[in-house]
Amino acid sequence: MPLGLERLFEPAEVGGQTCPNRMVLAPLTRSRAREDGVPTALMAEYYAQRSGAGLIVSEGTVVSPQGASYARVPGLYSPEQVEGWKPVVGAARSRGAIVYAQLWHVGRQAHSSAQPDRLPGWAPSAIPILSAQYRSPAGRIPFEVPRELSAEGIRGVVGQFATAARNALEAGFDGVELHGANGYLIDQFLNAGSNQRADQYGGTFTNRIRFLAEVLDALGEVIPLERVGLRLSPSSTWMDMQDPDKRGLYSAVVRLASARGLSYLHLVEPGIAGSTEAADARDTVVSSAELGALFNGPLIVTGGHTAESAAARIEAGTADLVGFGRLFIANPDLPFRFQTGAELEPLRREGLYAGGAAGYTDYPHHPDNPHSTRKEDPLCALSTP
Ligand code: PHB
């Protein structure tokens, strides 16, 4: 193993379970589910190929049809979806990884053109996203003014998160990660720019955090909170996530997560804006180390890391596990490559968000990786292009 990388390959305790190493497959939207959100055999192959991670967080998985912005993302709200996940989860854990489902509701990032009722998405306030555009099959189009959730509507969405968590356990997941990052529904409640409510869900930090707190209350009824992780992107302004005091806001959120005894805190690093790199990272940085210090549990950081930077963070005590997204897409056997110092494949952009096997399951294992050639290894058949 290249010198200095040892820490990445030490086991880690997460939610009362042991991850065999500290590399995390970050949640990545790949849009290979069926139109009805049922996971596919191709997805099982994809996760099997990346099953050398210590912790696998599924791609964003919607809690309801209204929670989706794009076609072919998986869900966890129907019995068929639960059945469809079972072989995918089995494949993901085939080498000992801990496997969490990322629970997702996009809120105002939805678009009527992709909604079953052809109506705009739901949000804390009727404020549209102005600085970005919706990725429609015909190209980029403006976002719409979302519908404001009523108190009853909020209760409904909270219930959808709890049902999805129960379904995740039934599908075999070890736990769930709440997607509180990247300007999706939970983040929309947190930030003042997207939450102008005058009721108990808007105004003070406590009020804007109430939606998240109620989701955690509801999850706690169906799954131990020790098996619930939380993902945040405190430095990101992607999708108009504006707040005059991001540092104060996210410190309060992390204190809540710590008090509830959540499984882990997963931070998107300051250099990342949603699925892109942040040009304005310098202006909006909320330090991961500072937030991590407020959380009594494992800290995962994701965003642009190399093997060296990841190991250095673990060594410095400013992260416990490190997520990899783009590197893991292009290198299904990324842990093997880090361990052996093997060269890395570059990412190809085509097939990132749609399609079949091309750009998804056709990235090869390294030729020196015994798993890529051993005929008796069931994963070998899956991973040879
Ligand atoms: C995306 O589809 O571009 C995407 C999905 C989920 C994220 C960020 C980006 O958290």
Structure tokens at 180: 């509180």
Q: Is the CB of 29 under 6 A from ligand 1?
A: yes
Tens-digit pLDDT string for the chain (385 aa): 888 899 999 999 999 999 999 999 999 999 999 999 999 999 999 999 999 999 999 999 999 999 999 989 999 999 999 999 999 999 999 999 999 999 999 999 999 999 999 999 999 999 999 999 999 989 999 999 999 999 999 999 999 999 999 999 999 999 999 999 999 999 999 999 999 999 999 999 999 999 999 999 999 999 999 999 999 999 999 999 999 999 999 999 999 999 999 999 999 998 888 888 876 655 578 999 999 999 999 999 999 999 999 999 999 999 999 999 999 999 999 999 999 999 999 999 999 998 999 999 999 999 999 876 444 444 544 443 3
Structure tokens at 112: 């009527």
Which of 32, 103, 135, 182 best tests ligand 1's pocket when mutated (most atoms within 8 Å of CB)? 182
Residue 363 is a catalytic residue: no
Q: Is the CB of 182 under 6 A from ligand 1?
A: yes
Q: Of 79, 92, 75, 66, give the one whose Cα is nearest residue 31.
A: 75
Q: Is the CB of 21 under 6 A from ligand 1?
A: no
What is the 73 CA–ligand 1 centroid distance (Å)?
11
Q: What single letter denotes the amino acid at residue 238?
A: W
Predicted TM-score (pTM) of the model is 0.95
Q: Number of C-alpha atoms within 13 angstroms, CB side, residue 205?
A: 13
Looking from the CA of residue 233, the nearest atom of ligand 1 is 10
Given the residues 47, 184, 201, 363, the one annotated as active site:
184
DSSP 380: H
Give the Cα separation of 280 and 105 in Å (integer).
26
Give the Cα separation of 60 and 280 in Å (integer).
25
Domains by residue range for the chain, with CATH: 6-383 (3.20.20.70)
Q: Is the CB of 303 under 6 A from ligand 1?
A: no
Q: What is the pLDDT of residue 3?
A: 82
Q: What is the pLDDT of residue 374?
A: 42
Q: Is the CB of 31 under 6 A from ligand 1?
A: no
Give the Cα separation of 26 and 11 in Å (integer).
18
